[in-house]
Structure 1
Amino acid sequence: MDKKKILIIAHGHPDVHKGGAEIAAYQLFNEYETLGHDVTFLARSEEAPHGGAAFSVRNKANELLFHTRQDDDFLFSNIRTRYIWSELRDLLKRLQPEVVHFHHFFLMGVETLLEVRKTLPEAKIVFTLHEYLAICHANGLMLKPHSQKLCAKSSPRNCHNCFPEKSPADFFMREMYIKRAFSVVDRFVSPSEFLKQRYVDWGIDSSLIEVIENGIPLLSQHADMSIDETASSPKVRLAYFGQINCFKGLDVLLDALVLMDKEARQNFVLNIHGANLEYQPADFQEKVSSALKRLKGTVFLHGPYENRELPELLADADWMVVPSIWWENSPIVIQEAFRSKVPVIASNIGGMAEKVKHNVNGLTFSVGKPLSLLETFRSILANPELHKTCKAGITPPISISESAQLNLALYNQQ
């Protein structure tokens, strides 16, 4: 196997920012290092640098933090030109990677793509798409900000309707500015077919986008804590993992349990593993807090968790619930559930529906509809064999080793 010099760029280090994209980028970095490649991980950081330096070392010499930020959140532009046109350029010249694999431009400036191409004209530039930020100004969610209705396709006119303070011309120029930066990318990677199609509809040539799922590490033998059916709990154990915000659908899940009659509800327990409720809008906080009070004894809020804790936490779950109200892309938490042989109950849209097949490896319900989710819970009670059927239908998710090999093969393509 040819050893490669690879630079992986992410918008955060998972030691600090525990988002799916950050974790995916870092796991790929670790796998390349294990395979013996000359790999460097560069993560944007909002931490104050020592002495005003643009870069610092995080854990070891080949893990670097890039101390910068974008100044224009509309264009994703970094007007602090010294950080990109000087410091980043000098770093690229020193490292001389053959491949620069971006996992984001967010918070660094979309101009970083242009600088890589200018400084390293022979390098292969690969970009893994993780959501819809380039397409959608509404935090990349493709949700209409006021109605929270799903948006099927962006356009300057549609985007102006969501953000009337920006003209259609502003949105047209935004699209052109981002596409100019994207034009230097040799190949894009999409973790789901759904996300790929969104970017094809936006204007990226389909032949330039390869679908490669984000791989996850295999469980070690001693960490395999899959559920023993013969020793199952008398209650149906539901689990929610991830950020607690307005778009992840926790309120939909709680509403479904509130609507359930008390006798049926006694058959369920829900464990919530997540954080950041205190940073959400006041009305959302109040809605969740009120539901938690009404569901005392059924629902338990455990706070944040570390990724390494997931296998043990999932050992106490019969079903993982992923009730997001936006399209999602390729939720890594679903792969982690399947790795532990835990079936998933998910909203029936986007990357969630692509992974979770109804009555095969999990169940789906109508997005944003508590009554639909309630009917799903009722079907679980009415059919005790449903869990066993869906668990048997789970196939192992792609491993980080398999994903790394697919990415490496892409690097070698002309």
Structure 2
Amino acid sequence: MRVAVANWHSHVVGGAESYIRGVVTALESAGIEVAMLSERESAAGREKIELSAGAPTWCVSDIGEEAALAAMRAWRPDVVYVHLIESTTLEARLLELAPAVLFAHSYHGMCISGEKTFRFPDVRPCGLPFGWKCLLHFYPNRCGGLSPITMWQDYLKQSERHSMLPKYSAIATASEYLRRQLIANGAKPERVHKLAMPVSATFTQAGSQPVASRTDETKRIIFVGRMGLLKGTGILLDSMPAVAAALNSKINLTFVGDGPGRTAWEERARRLEAADARINIEMAGWKKPEEIRAVLAEADLLVVPSVWPETFGLVGPEAGRLGVPAAAFDVGGISEWLVDGVNGELAPGNPPTAQGLVDAIVRCIRDPAVHQRLRAGALEVSQRFDTRLHVQSLIKIFQQVAEPELRRESESLAAVS
């Protein structure tokens, strides 16, 4: 079977590309021929998604859309596996090229801004299906920016994506939460599949026993992800003085990741450190998976402070493979891997508050016995997420959607002979 992967980037710039990199390797190991089409190669310094030697790759920004699609068509894929595509025109043409399977990483086609979040009068998830009524909420609930031109352009673009959802032969996603959102927005229920997410091989190399809780006074907390308002960077920073006071201990908070507002967050962190000697904050920047693993191995707690409805949050199970529990707001698909009192603690997410996050963090690491139990639970829960099982389920979906195409091809060859 031949599977052509389509994504906007060919380098690892986020969770979608991390997923693609790991799954491509597993698909090839299972005997699937893989090719890749990308829209751009603009992420200098980031790891490239590597295919096996000789596997074809096509980049639209290098050779143009027509040439890239012609080359893919000549390769004759049985399935096109679509991820994040910026151009709706390109996405529509991919749907015509072969049976297409979408992996829904986000809310494309389900929200004008793609964030599925009201920001006013408080931050909370939006559960409305996409449609013209979204325009009525855009300004009163501060769903996006303030430009009416941008709002209208984004609405038209998401309308195009919305109309494409029922045209996919299958849609895979990581959470039941996002599966329900897809169905509410027109995807055919029988075509939407929730799959247990794969954990990167970088993290599955960890041992089978969680490390013991530390006995020193310093608590080591880590954030991994894109730094920004909806990722909860600010609310996590705001929670640190109360966490230090409640635990009466030193706090080392490490941010692994980057974002457009990093300079502002760094300034805010320095002010917090100056006001409370117990708080130390490191902005470590973007790191490779093996470097993230090393940082997590030294952590007491992962915090996922996202205030928007995360579609899943794979960093949680990845940290769990190292016996690191998590504290997070109960938004989106988070509760599908984070269970209160088992592998961490959930904070109320509607609305999310700094105090709610403080309470969840403190419950995780105040009592050494509780913390050790959560470490064991984090490792146990993380075992449910396995690359081999994920790829097996994915191949079954590919076979189901490709079979009619393969049968027609076989009949055509038989007629010619």
| Residue identity in the other structure for 1:132 | Y
Does residue 228 in structure 1 map to residue 219 in structure 2? Answer: no
Does residue 6 in structure 1 map to residue 26 in structure 2? Answer: no
For 1:162 and 1:404, the matched residues in 2 are separated by 39
Matches within 5 A, 1:64-83: 64-68=57-61, 83=64
Distance 1:167 1:157, change over 3 A: farther
For 1:365 and 1:152, the matched residues in 2 are separated by 19
Does residue 327 in structure 1 map to residue 320 in structure 2? Answer: no
Distance 1:216 1:116, change over 3 A: same
- Report the CA distance between 1:349 and its aligned residue: 1.4
2:18 corresponding residue in structure 1: 23
- Count residues with an aligned counterpart: 380
For 1:292 and 1:397, the matched residues in 2 are separated by 39
For 1:20 and 1:27, the matched residues in 2 are separated by 11
Q: Percent identity?
A: 18
- Report the CA distance between 1:231 and its aligned residue: 5.8
Cα-to-partner distance string for 1:250-290 (whole Å, 9 max, x where unaligned): 221221112346473425332222223xx229866654553
1:134 corresponding residue in structure 2: 109
Distance 1:59 1:290, change over 3 A: farther
For 2:215 and 2:201, the matched residues in 1 are separated by 24
- Pick from 276, 280, 300 the counterpart of residue 299 of structure 1: 280
For 2:317 and 2:80, the matched residues in 1 are separated by 26
- Pick from 93, 114, 118 the counterpart of residue 144 of structure 1: 118
1:317 corresponding residue in structure 2: 299
2:404 corresponding residue in structure 1: none
For 2:94 and 2:100, the matched residues in 1 are separated by 8
2:77 corresponding residue in structure 1: 97
**8 A contact 1:320–1:342 mirrored in 2:** yes
Cα-to-partner distance string for 1:189-225 (whole Å, 9 max, x where unaligned): 0111111111111221221100013312345887549
**8 A contact 2:256–2:292 mirrored in 1:** no
For 1:250 and 1:62, the matched residues in 2 are separated by 39
2:414 corresponding residue in structure 1: none
Deviates more, 1:87-96 or 1:154-163: 154-163
Matches within 5 A, 1:203-214: 203-214=186-197
- Report the CA distance between 1:322 and its aligned residue: 0.5
Cα-to-partner distance string for 1:386-414 (whole Å, 9 max, x where unaligned): 21222222321422222111100111225
1:184 corresponding residue in structure 2: 167
3-state SS in 2 of match to 1:393: helix
Cα-to-partner distance string for 1:17-68 (whole Å, 9 max, x where unaligned): 2x001111121111112223211122221549xxxxxxxx999542635234
Distance 1:41 1:289, change over 3 A: farther
1:72 corresponding residue in structure 2: none
3-state SS in 1 of match to 2:39: strand
**8 A contact 1:236–1:318 mirrored in 2:** yes
**8 A contact 2:256–2:285 mirrored in 1:** yes
3-state SS in 2 of match to 1:200: helix
Cα-to-partner distance string for 1:371-392 (whole Å, 9 max, x where unaligned): 1122234434553322122222
Distance 1:115 1:378, change over 3 A: closer
- Pick from 25, 32, 39 the counterpart of residue 34 of structure 2: 39
3-state SS in 1 of match to 2:109: coil
| Residue identity in the other structure for 1:25 | I
1:158 corresponding residue in structure 2: 134
For 1:405 and 1:382, the matched residues in 2 are separated by 41
1:62 corresponding residue in structure 2: 55
Does residue 116 in structure 1 map to residue 97 in structure 2? Answer: no
2:372 corresponding residue in structure 1: 388
**TM-score, normalisation: structure 2:** 0.80
Distance 1:316 1:96, change over 3 A: same
**TM-score, normalisation: structure 1:** 0.81
- Pick from 199, 217, 227 the counterpart of residue 182 of structure 2: 199
**8 A contact 2:112–2:134 mirrored in 1:** no
- Report the CA distance between 1:169 and its aligned residue: 8.9
2:408 corresponding residue in structure 1: none
3-state SS in 2 of match to 1:413: helix
**Gapped regions of structure 1 (runs ≥ 5):** 49-56, 70-81
**Gapped regions of structure 2 (runs ≥ 5):** 44-49, 140-145, 402-417
Distance 1:99 1:392, change over 3 A: same
1:341 corresponding residue in structure 2: 323
1:74 corresponding residue in structure 2: none
- Report the CA distance between 1:91 and its aligned residue: 1.4
